[in-house]
Structure 1
Amino acid sequence: MFGTKPEAQRFLDEMTTSMETGTYVDPGRSKTTVGAIAETWIETPSWAASTRSRNRSILDAHVLPRWGSTRLADVHHEDIQEWVNGLGKAGMAGGTVRKVHGVLNGVLKAAIKGKRLAVNPAAEVDLPRQDLKRRRYLSGVEVEALVHAAGDRGAILLVLTFCGLRFGELAALKVGMVDQVRRRLRIEESVTEVNGALVWSEPKDHQRRTVPWPKFLDAEISAAMEGKAPGDLLFPSPGGGALRVRNMRRDWFDAAAKEAGVQGLTPHELRHTAASLAVSAGASVLALQRMLGHDKPSTTLDVYSDLFDEDLDLVADRLAEGRSRSTAEYLRSVEEKKEGQDATLTP
């Protein structure tokens, strides 16, 4: 097996080190295929149903056809890089390539946790840039036009736009979650359509929260609650069940957006608009984080950093004002010093 005694000793030393550091992998365990690990990984219990559905789709369409039957021991960094390069050359968008690679990367991370791989060959793969689409914010006038075009469904759009809820959170609102005295909505659930079925869950990132609504929504909220029990949905679909975003867009939302001159608008962009309107009204990062249900303020800044550009302008303006004051004080001190010298020289 070894040509020389030093080679055998080197192998023994490496084995000893890997066992001591916990990185040792039994070669027999690396014979498992990527596909076998993927089927365990896809059942990660902490995922939302929508996340599992999305990852399942990527596995079946892109990862398993190339890697499913490959043994873990035969997955090499350069092969993954070649595969990623090929996805881009085939016309796949940069953001999609990153998502596809992320799924394979997740599977291989699971193999490392299971002591089937010592290192992740998908790590440090060069990925294409993701073309970021400019976020769309409606102006106040555009919001009014959209609400008018929606007719008696305008209350739904007002809540999305001025409370910043995710669509699934609005669809899951029940009458018992409304506090009319304090003007608060308790966000405790979310409902999402996954593969044709409605899946109920906690809000994203488990961020249960209370969200205020502006006074002008009092009448709309009261009308939505009228004649309903605490367990009834606040904004049900025409059939009485939970709203489904695809059905809503098909039945009236897209038509209202077109009529209002904001064709192509998505319901989620009303959440972005809520953030924009809140910042314009003077909301801090912390207040916006609590309103939107982000896990931490840094997430809010990462997502909506462009909304705080005016803060940078304000900083620059204040720096300019400060320098103006300093310059004026300096010139005044110079003048006073000169006047003092002149007085001393005067006989």
Structure 2
Amino acid sequence: MESRVPVFLDHLRLTRGFSPHTVAAYRRDLEDFRGFLEKRHGVSPRVEDIADTDVRAFLADLTKRRLAERTVARRLATLRSFQQFLKKRGTTGVEVGPEVKGPRLPKDLPRTLSVEEIRSVLDDAAWETDRDLRDKAVLELLYSTGIRVSELVGLRHRDLQTKSGLLSVRGKGDKERRVPVGKTALSALKNYGETQSHSAPGDPLFVGRGQNPLSVRTVQRLVKQHLGRVARRSGLSPHLLRHTFATHLLDHGAELRAVQELLGHASLSSTQIYTRITMERLKQAHAQAHPRAENT
């Protein structure tokens, strides 16, 4: 396994364009599997010798260790991906048959912010310092476009076309898409840009100390800080703004296919989760307003 795993991880990073965070998660999953096999067999077996029974025993061990169901499901998904990678290269082993089932996970609805909460964050605060203006531009752009935090920190000045109001974004698998940017976000970006010295087209759009690109962690921290002023809950992250972006579009009549393209989802099923949020809101409104809705 030792020689095959690094090649697989390089494939995820270079060919499929996975983020360092995602690749690190795959590495942890496979290291845990290898550690289990070494205890089970006394040595680290060749991938060709890893059988279906080893995978089943690994899943049982994860359950015995009381790992979260989502963790168990992710480890199984990692093994399936590794198996498919090996098969495409003519190698057998790491047998994960279709009958091997992981835990059934509940489909939680993504949390979102209300329009009022968004307005409280973006309109009611005083944005005065250069850092404030940068943070506001980050928040406005995340909410206006629904881009991922990994996509935001990779933006360059050349990616923003202010005249047309379009942003070029490189998403998962290094696929590029163009998304519209609202006037309010463009205004925030203009105000932030006026605090910066001359920037070349290839320079990072958002910078921190030493004019270095903002890190994912810095964006996560600033989002949590500003959203925390109006929303007292867990999960205050850039992805919350992505969920909110998609839900608000659907709430106001956007077509599902259009939202899929804006989010950069490869599959429509990934976008359909937001229709459930919209339907839940309609049901709540009906239950509260209709005189005979008690049993609805």
TM-score (norm 1): 0.66
Give distance in 2, aligned partners of 1:162 and 1:267. Answer: 12
| Separation of aligned partners in 2, 1:89 and 1:239 | 48
Match of 1:221 in 2: 189
More divergent stretch after superposition (239-248 vs 276-285): 239-248
The CA deviation at 1:114 is 4.3
Letter in 2 for 1:172: G
Q: Deviations over 1:193-222 (max 9, x none)?
A: xxxxxxxxxx21433122112223342122
Return the offset for 1:109: 3.4
In the superposition, relative to structure 1, how do residues 146 and 238 fare at CA in structure 2: closer, same or farther (>3 Å)? farther
Shift, 1:108, TM fit:
3.3
Q: Secondary structure at the match of 1:185?
A: strand
Q: Which has the higher contact order (CA 8 A, sep 6+)?
A: 2
Correspondences of 1:252-263 after superposition (within 5 Å): 252-263=222-233
| Structure 2 counterpart of 1:288 | 259
- Distance change in 2, residues 1:77/1:228 (3 Å): same
Distance 1:172 1:291 in 2: 17
Question: Could you tell me how far 1:149 is from its partner in structure 2?
Answer: 4.9
Superposed displacement of residue 78, structure 1: 3.1
TM-score by length of 2: 0.77
Larger radius of gyration: 1
Structure 1 Cα separation of the partners of residues 126 and 103 of structure 2: 40
Aligned length: 263
- Rounded to whole Å, the distance in 1 between the matches of 2:28 and 2:57 is 22
**Structure 2 counterpart of 1:40, from 1, 4, 7:** 7
- Is 148-157 or 169-178 further displaced after alignment? 148-157
1:274 corresponds, among 245, 250, 257, to: 245
1:161 corresponding residue in structure 2: 143
In the other structure, the counterpart of 2:153 is 171
Distance 1:102 1:290 in 2: 26
CA distance, structure 2, for counterparts of residue 119 and residue 247 of structure 1: 39
Q: How far, CA to CA, are the matches of 1:37 and 1:277 in structure 2?
A: 44
1:305-324 equivalent positions in 2, closer than 5 A: 305-307=275-277, 309=279
Q: Deviations over 1:288-342 (max 9, x none)?
A: 12211222434322x42314538998xxxxxxxxxxxxxxxxxxxxxxxxxxxxx
Name structure 1 gaps, 5 residues minimum: 1-33, 190-202, 314-347
> Are the structure 2 counterparts of residues 175 and 65 from structure 1 closer, same or farther at C-alpha, using a change threshold of 3 Å?
same
- Is the contact made by 1:177 and 1:186 (CA closer than 8 Å) also made in structure 2? yes
Measure the CA separation in 1 of the matches of 2:118 and 2:46. Answer: 55
Task: Give 1:240 deviation, angstroms.
Answer: 1.6
Partner of 1:67: 37
- The residue aligned with 1:345 is none
Q: Which runs of structure 2 are paired with 1:1-347 in the superposition (5 Å)?
A: 34-44=1-11, 45-47=14-16, 48-50=18-20, 51-60=22-31, 62-67=32-37, 69-72=44-47, 74-117=49-92, 120-147=95-122, 148-149=124-125, 151=127, 152=132, 153-187=135-169, 189=170, 203-226=171-194, 227-229=197-199, 230-250=201-221, 252-264=222-234, 265-301=236-272, 303-307=273-277, 309=279
**Corresponding residue SS for 2:10:** coil
